[in-house]
A and B are shown apart, each in its own frame.
Chain A
């Protein structure tokens, strides 16, 4: 359910610091610096980066790919390799047995077993094809409000890190309390907002 889909899911943010006046000059370079890299696949379980919202497999983005009037539209791509637990367990067990037989041992220390597990995991990761996912982001650069087209916690956490690394500014989530704080300007209301508890029927 991406930005261009007929149905979307939205979690909202605001950028914590004002965006620079020459935002577009800097945006393409910053996004390409953190562009998704196919070259970095190797043995990583998760690989993330920005991609074009209309072509997630392009090697870099150009201004027309992401700039639509006052809006920045860009996709975060997450490629993830997953080894099913039963598969990992089976291969670790086989390797442990092989080593015990080879060295004529009755058992292995915890340290050796952990080393085997990690080595087997790395070997299996190289054989697993990563599954790509994309999540679109739309930012109104006139006021730094951001709509992220996913409500999944894991995707949101990844976005917050990637956005900070890219633009050196934090994304603050919009939740009822923060929204109320931003909409109400007078200090008396804000103080009262901090104090109130849930209302119950009489």
Chain B
């Protein structure tokens, strides 16, 4: 019970970290046309797939807005950002080397829903009954799921390294504001 309470408190108190991460990630994807540089790793391809939920955070006065649809181009979402909201949930396409995933991520918990492996896994269902094929499929699937999480962690780490360096964050947040409020 105590553990559960601790977790809930931590999730609530520090939920802003995840929302800030997603907001930063969106900015970074637009900065270099869908490519995010991860120090020590190289480039990861990241794009926001026209489904974004923004909110103002925790509390009774919490406001949220959902932006989706093929023609939205996320302009409404950007307007939401300008009013102080941050990205609470987003549909993201992420690529690393030859692998690619499409998923929805929740900023508060980092839970991932509707994850599809778009590239990097074979689709040989005919052999599914064969034990060896099943084992190969399971290993391949597990590898790709963990790789997706590991790639997300690289992006999250890149964000945290900037966020927790006051000088770096001052510069980054200044650039982010310029992106949001172009003169």
Where the two chains meet, the residues of A that have a C-beta atom closer than 8 Å to any C-beta of B are 3-4, 6-12, 54, 64, 68-69, 71, 73, 138, 140, 145, 147, 151, 157, 170, 173-180, 183-184, 189, 192-193, 196-202
Contact = CB atoms under 8 A, between A and B. Distances in A.
B72 interface: no
B137 interface: yes
A150 B106 CA distance: 13
B113 A147 contact: no
23 contacts: A3-B138, A4-B138, A6-B117, A9-B114, A9-B115, A71-B139, A140-B142, A140-B146, A145-B149, A147-B142, A175-B108, A175-B110, A177-B13, A178-B10, A183-B153, A184-B161, A184-B164, A189-B160, A192-B164, A192-B166, A196-B163, A198-B20, A201-B84
B119 interface: no
A4 B121 CA distance: 12
Interface in B12-61: 13-18, 20-21, 57
Contact of A68 (B3, B84, B135, B153): B135
A178 B145 CA distance: 20
A6 B156 contact: no
Determine chain A's interface SS by DSSP, over half rule. mixed
Interface string B131-148: 100110111011001100
A196 B177 CA distance: 19
B173 interface: yes
A157 to B, nearest CB: 8
Nearest to A72: B142
B156 A179 contact: yes
A4 B137 CA distance: 8
Given A68-B135, A151-B113, A176-B17, A184 B157 contact: yes
A199 B109 CA distance: 18
A197 to B, nearest CB: 7
Interface of B: 3-4, 7, 10-11, 13-18, 20-21, 57, 82, 84, 106-117, 131, 134-135, 137-139, 141-142, 145-146, 149, 153, 156-157, 160-161, 163-164, 166, 169, 173, 177, 180-181
Nearest to B4: A157
Nearest to A54: B134
B181 to A, nearest CB: 8
A20 B153 CA distance: 26
A11 B157 CA distance: 18
Nearest to B131: A64
A175 B138 contact: no
Contacts of B134: 54
A151 B106 CA distance: 10
Given A175-B10, A177-B14, A180-B17, A9 B139 contact: no
B67 to A, nearest CB: 18
A10 B112 contact: yes
A176 B107 contact: yes
A184 B153 CA distance: 11
B55 to A, nearest CB: 12
A8 B146 CA distance: 12
Given A151-B113, A189-B161, 19 more contacts: A7-B114, A7-B116, A9-B115, A11-B111, A64-B131, A68-B142, A147-B149, A173-B7, A173-B109, A175-B11, A175-B14, A176-B156, A177-B11, A177-B17, A179-B156, A183-B157, A196-B163, A199-B169, A202-B177
